[in-house]
């Protein structure tokens, strides 16, 4: 029996060691080959690709790979298995009312892949049959409507890129530097391309009565999550979306229908959207009274603080991505603002003594993540790396000390302060706060 | 060719359209979906407004009845007297703590409106089976939790009229307008602070709070 010329001994020995199940296609002729080559104890015919003596052909260069529908949906490379959303088990009683964090340290652009978009559920994510899902719009309207998903898909379509950030992002850093991780300190922000229908189109279709000033938006999950929104924001730029990054919403992001409220706190972006009711006054729901309000040092609280102020963070270096010896690097990061576009980002490597303007990368979109970079020659000495964003309204990202001077440290929400990473001589990186 | 009269009519129609909100078409322009019937609206419409209780349904519940429902449906997570269990929320306590280092926001110390409590229990509780309690049971639970917080007497009966009248302790301590921007940093570029004054005030190093960010999901619990 002669081996299939398409297959090398090296690949077969590799396949035989493979911890993952072999695809059906891979079994073609495998039995014969196993007896043929492996039984002879064949040594790999190729050089170790990690060695540097050319020419070195790796096993994957001397074999044929898997075919087109080997993975009909697709998935990341096996070696990227660590790039996943993660939670902090000790933070909440269970995972159903909890949050997962996006691995920002591994993401290279402004779009968050759908499988890595951070999650926040209050009663777990429901599994909804879109054929049974309906959206009701009623209250102070001329013509209350019940819309099926098929109905909603017929309305004129809009596609825009926006970030969504949980207002508790960075909440664990209010009192002190606690989480030694970019993922856990900043991972409650993600950005996607959303497709759906403008909320204004739906509200015009039902006809808004002139007394209407507010909308109550409600989800179909077990929490029946609901929030009040001013009608002006609803008519300005809100979207009722069914698609994210070109495909249907994922169940954990609100499938089949969610609200996107650009630039405003994540909690108002109601998922599994089932009802919109117009009224004269806000509802003062539990989510906008006992939660998602900012407790000030004098004991008063701020409610209806929907806007996510300008914020930025350096994504390299960071605790998960230490520096590999002195030399030339590119400091990389992300900036965003709920108030429109990012105007400028400055970077400091000396704890805020001196700053340099970073390069902003296109596209720079309103209420979307914006990528920035700055070349940096690291000399191996201790450094304190930080970024500071200025948005198009002129608002400057504050230091944590400036923010605490206004709000104390009892708030859980809206910590948009400058993040400092301490770089030690061995290249390791730590989350620190400066006095 | 259009006559001047027809152009006039066209302009009038355009002006009329422009005067409606956001230049909108008339209601029902697309004609998709079905007009919701009163029965359908009644079936979907579950909200109760916090400030005045608008939307609260008929029904009522006593503190004693609430204690029974609570023991059955709520105590496992929230503790027998609302003291909380594990990391599930406390429902009582924390009065006077809102300026403290560790404030405890509860129904008694923080919530501004009593009807919000009815609305939240009705829509989201009990956590494993949300929106399965009767209106009377929700009224009873609301009465019981308010009494645990000494906000109502033991003989209190919760209903659509009595709940909006309950005076919550933190009612007047909310500001419902956003005063931000509340910081006014200046974008200084050089020698912005004295290098000798740059000092690390806190570090996450060695705190052992951070789950791992490589490999499989972590199961770490507080040390």
Lowest-confidence range among A33-37, A130-134, A294-298, A428-432? A33-37
Cα–Cα distance for residue pair A263/A266, rounded to 1 Å: 9
Q: Which of A269, A40, A207, A350 is closest to B26 using CA atoms? A: A207
Picking from B173, B188, B218, the nearest residue to A300 by CB comes out as B173
The pLDDT, as a whole number, for residue B25 is 74
Q: How far apart are CA B118 and CA A286, in angstroms?
A: 10
Confidence at residue B8, expressed as pLDDT on a 0 to 100 scale: 47
β B174-175/A301-302 pair status: parallel
Contacts of B77 in chain A (CB under 8 A): 93
User: Could B123 and A136 be called an inter-chain contact, meaning their C-beta atoms sit closer than 8 Å?
Assistant: no
Structure token pair of residue A314: 């350096």
Cα–Cα distance measured from residue A326 to residue A379, given in angstroms and rounded to the nearest whole number: 5
Q: Give bridge partners of residue A333 from the DSSP assignment.
A: A314, A372
Q: Looking at this predicted complex, what is its ipTM?
A: 0.90
CB-CB under 8 Å, B202 with A177: yes
- Average pLDDT of chain B is 91
Residue A300: strand, helix, or coil: coil
CA dihedral B182, B99, A223, B220 (to 10 degrees): 100
Alpha carbons B108 and B110: distance in angstroms, whole number: 6
Q: What is the pLDDT of residue A8?
A: 40
In angstroms, the CA A398 to CA A418 distance is 6
Q: pLDDT of B27-70, one tens digit each? A: 999 999 999 999 999 999 999 999 999 999 999 999 999 999 99
**Mean of the per-residue pLDDT values for chain A?**
91
pLDDT exceeding 90 applies to what percent of chain A?
A: 86
Contact A277 B22 (CB under 8 A): no
Other residues' Cβ atoms within 10 Å of the Cβ of residue A7: 19
Residue B192 contacts residue A354 (beta carbons within 8 Å): yes
Residues of chain A with pLDDT > 70: what percent?
A: 88
Q: Model confidence over B66-85: pLDDT tens digits?
A: 999 999 999 999 999 999 99
Name B150's Cβ contacts closer than 8 Å, sequence gap at least 6. B108
* A319 φ/ψ angles, rounded to the nearest 5 degrees: -55, -35
Q: How many other C-beta atoms can be found within 10 angstroms of the C-beta atom of residue A388?
A: 26
Within an 8 Å CB–CB cutoff, is residue B223 touching chain A? no
CB spacing of B178 vs A224 below 8 angstroms: no
Q: A117-131 pLDDT, tens per residue?
A: 999 999 999 999 999
At B223 the pLDDT is 55
At residue B117, the pLDDT reads 98
Instruction: Give the per-residue SS3 of A368-414.
Output: CCEEEEEEEEECCCCEEEEEEEEECCCCECCCHHHHHHHHCCCCCCC
Assign 3-state DSSP to chain B and report helix, strand, coil percentages, each to 5: 30, 5, 60
Give the Cα separation of B53 and B44 in Å (integer).
Answer: 17
Query: What residues pair up with A239 in beta bridges, in sequence order?
Result: A198, A260
pLDDT band at B152 (very low <50, low <70, confident <90, very high): very high
* Facing B191 at nearest CB: one of A122, A200, A354: A354
Encode pLDDT of B86-136 as tens digits.
899 999 999 999 999 999 999 999 999 999 999 999 999 999 999 999 999
Cα–Cα distance for residue pair A195/B54, rounded to 1 Å:
35
Written as six digits, the tokens of B30 are 């697309």
Read off the pLDDT of residues A350-402 as tens digits, 9 standing for 90 and up: 999 999 999 999 999 999 999 999 999 999 999 999 999 999 999 999 999 99
Q: What was the pLDDT predicted at A51?
A: 64
pLDDT value of residue A48: 62
Q: How far apart are CA B221 and CA B223, in angstroms?
A: 6
State the Cα–Cα distance between residues A264 and A236, nearest whole angstrom: 13
A30-50 pLDDT, tens digit each: 444 444 444 344 444 555 656
Is the CB of residue B3 less than 8 Å away from at least one CB of chain A?
A: no
Is A273:A135 a contact under the CB 8 Å cutoff? yes
pTM: 0.90
Instruction: Choose the mutation target among B19, B25, B28, B32 for the interface with A, i.e. most A CBs under 10 Å.
Output: B32
A374: tokens are 């700055």
Report the distance separating Cα B16 and Cα B10, nearest Å.
10
Nearest partner of A66 among A127, A13, A5, A23, judged by Cα? A23
Residue-level pLDDT at B14: 46
Is B27 close to A207, i.e. CB distance below 8 A?
yes
Contact B193/A154, CB-based, under 8 Å?
no
Name the residue among A151, A299, A399 with its Cβ closest to that of B33: A151
In angstroms, the CA A1 to CA B187 distance is 75
């Amino acid at each position: 029996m002669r081996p299939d010329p398409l297959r090398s001994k090296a690949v077969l020995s590799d396949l035989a060691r493979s911890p993952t199940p072999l695809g059906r296609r891979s079994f073609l002729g495998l039995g014969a080959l196993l007896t043929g080559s492996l039984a002879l104890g064949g040594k790999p015919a190729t050089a170790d690709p990690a060695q540097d003596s050319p020419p070195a052909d790796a096993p994957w260069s001397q074999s044929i790979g898997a075919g087109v529908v080997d993975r009909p949906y697709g998935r990341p490379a096996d070696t990227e298995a660590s790039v996943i959303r993660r939670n902090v088990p000790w933070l909440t009683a269970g995972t159903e009312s909890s949050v997962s964090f996006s691995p920002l340290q591994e993401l290279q652009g402004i779009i968050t892949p759908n499988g890595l978009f951070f999650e926040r559920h209050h009663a777990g994510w429901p599994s909804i049959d879109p054929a049974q899902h309906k959206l009701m719009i009623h209250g102070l309207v001329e013509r209350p409507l019940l819309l099926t998903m098929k109905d909603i898909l017929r309305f004129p379509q809009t596609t825009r890129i926006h970030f969504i950030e949980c207002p508790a992002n960075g909440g664990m850093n209010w009192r002190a530097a606690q989480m030694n991780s970019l993922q856990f300190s900043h991972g409650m922000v993600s950005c996607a391309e959303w497709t759906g229908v403008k909320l204004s189109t739906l509200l015009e279709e039902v006809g808004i009565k002139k007394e209407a000033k507010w909308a109550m938006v409600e989800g179909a999950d077990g929490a029946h999550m609901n929030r009040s929104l001013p009608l002006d924001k609803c008519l300005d730029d809100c979207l009722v979306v069914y698609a994210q990054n070109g495909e249907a919403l994922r169940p954990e992001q609100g499938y089949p229908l969610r609200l996107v409220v650009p630039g405003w706190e994540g909690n108002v972006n109601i998922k599994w959207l089932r009802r919109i009711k117009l009224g004269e006054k806000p509802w003062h729901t539990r989510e906008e009274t006992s939660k998602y309000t900012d407790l000030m040092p004098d004991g008063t609280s701020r409610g209806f603080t929907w806007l996510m102020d300008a914020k930025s963070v350096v994504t390299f270096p960071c605790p998960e991505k230490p520096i590999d010896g002195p030399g030339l690097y590119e400091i990389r990061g992300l900036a965003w603002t709920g108030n429109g576009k990012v105007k400028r980002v400055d970077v400091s490597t000396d704890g805020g003594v001196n700053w340099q303007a970073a390069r902003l990368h296109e596209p720079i979109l309103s209420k979307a993540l914006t990528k920035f970079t700055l070349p940096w020659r690291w000399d191996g000495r201790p450094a304190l790396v930080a970024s500071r964003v200025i948005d198009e309204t002129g608002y400057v990202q504050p230091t944590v000390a400036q923010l605490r001077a206004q709000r104390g440290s009892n708030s859980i929400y809206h910590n948009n302060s400058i993040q400092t990473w301490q770089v030690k001589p061995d290249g390791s990186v730590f989350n620190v706060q400066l006095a | 060719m259009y006559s001047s009269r027809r152009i006039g009519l066209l302009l009038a129609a355009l002006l009329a359209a422009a005067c409606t909100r956001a230049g909108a078409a008339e209601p029902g322009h697309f004609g998709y979906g079905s007009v919701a019937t009163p029965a359908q609206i009644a079936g979907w419409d579950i909200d109760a407004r916090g400030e005045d209780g608008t939307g609260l349904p008929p029904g009522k519940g006593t503190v004693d009845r609430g204690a029974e429902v609570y023991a059955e449906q709520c105590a496992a997570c929230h503790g027998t007297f609302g003291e909380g269990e594990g990391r599930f929320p406390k429902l009582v306590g924390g009065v006077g703590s809102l300026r403290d280092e560790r404030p405890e926001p509860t129904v008694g110390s923080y919530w501004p409106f009593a009807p919000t409590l009815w609305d939240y229990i009705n829509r989201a509780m009990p956590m494993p089976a949300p929106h399965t309690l009767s209106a009377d049971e929700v009224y009873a639970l609301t009465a019981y939790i308010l009494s645990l917080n000494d906000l109502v007497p033991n003989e209190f009966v919760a209903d659509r009229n009595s709940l909006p009248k309950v005076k919550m302790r933190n009612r007047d301590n909310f500001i419902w307008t956003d005063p931000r921007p509340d910081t006014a940093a200046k974008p200084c570029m050089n020698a912005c602070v004295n290098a000798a004054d740059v000092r690390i005030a806190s570090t996450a190093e060695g705190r052992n709070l951070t789950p791992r960010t490589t490999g499989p999901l972590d199961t770490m619990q507080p040390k």
